[in-house]
Amino acid sequence: MSKKTRKKSPKTPSRKAPKTSAKKSGTGAGRTAAGWDACLDQLAGQLDSREVPPFENWLEPMEAYIERFGLAEGEVRSVDGGYELRFARDLVWKPLDQVWQTLTEDAVGDLLPERAKNPHIPAGPILAAEAPRLLEYRWLHAGEPAGTVRWEFVSDPKLGVRVELTQTIPTELASVRAEALATWQVHLELFFAAVHGDVRCAWPEDRVAELTKHHESALA
């Protein structure tokens, strides 16, 4: 007896991006998802014969997708003598000179620019400054040099501009990894917003505390 083959109904594509990890898609997945939302809004408007206003607020949806995909979080790598924290954040196609100016406010000299440091990781002397791509300095623990922090801006002709931030942490200070991960995640969230014209002056201590707990659990 022959079996009847039942045709499967095609699934309706969801406009919402999947909740799986997008790190495999690269740091630009947040802006790509936001871009598709804008395209689909325009297409839906044409199908419904209604006018859809131009999509202008890119920052908010990009931030939402970056958070959803886990692209804002850093990685911890074991290296000789301790650990390296590494972050990579997409800055879309902003010109390198503009990104550098946002970080330094044209104030690189003997003193570290305010936007390159934060309240949780005491900054030491500048080690290297190569506009518009590199800024590196020592960070301090209990007033003594403990490692380095490195801001590096990369321009890729196919992927756009991104910031890569690394911090080295010695083995004996492994306990600060969770707070450092939280701190730089928040710092880069603020920097990403500033690059896109939204300068947020208040340092969000509550978010740092929340993320520190998250990273403590992940590192346990």
Q: For the whole model, what pTM was predicted?
A: 0.81
**What residue ranges do the domains of the chain occupy?**
24-66, 73-219
Kindly provide the b/e burial profile for residues 161-174, where b requires at least 16 CB atoms within 10 angstroms of the residue's own CB.
bbbebbbbbeeeee
Predicted confidence band of residue 208 (pLDDT cuts 50, 70, 90): very high
All residues at 6 or more sequence positions from 46 whose CB lies less than 8 Å from its CB, including other chains: none
**Range scoring the smallest mean pLDDT among 8-12, 99-103, 121-125, 150-154:** 8-12
Residues 116 and 201: their CA atoms lie apart, in Å, by 14
Average pLDDT score over the chain: 85
73-219 is classed CATH 3.30.530.20: yes
Mean pLDDT calculated for residue range 58-74: 88
32/137: higher pLDDT? 137
Between strands 123-130 and 160-170, the pairing is unpaired
Tokens of 78: 């074991």
Place of tokens 């045709």: 7
Predicted local distance difference test score (pLDDT) of residue 38? 62
User: Is 60 exceeded by the pLDDT of residue 84?
Assistant: yes
Which residues are 14's β-sheet partners? Answer: none
Bridge partner residues of 145 (DSSP): 140
Q: Find the range with the poorest average confidence among 8-12, 60-64, 132-136, 142-146.
A: 8-12
pLDDT, tens only, 32-57: 766 656 676 667 767 777 887 776 77
With 70 as the cut, is the pLDDT of residue 144 above it?
Answer: yes
Residues near 132 by beta carbon (within 8 Å), at least 6 away in sequence? 96, 97, 99, 100, 101, 153
Q: Enumerate helices (H) and strands (E) in the chain, giving the number of each.
A: 5, 6
Residue 54, class by beta-carbon neighbours within 10 Å (0-12 exposed, 13-18 middle, 19+ buried)? Answer: exposed
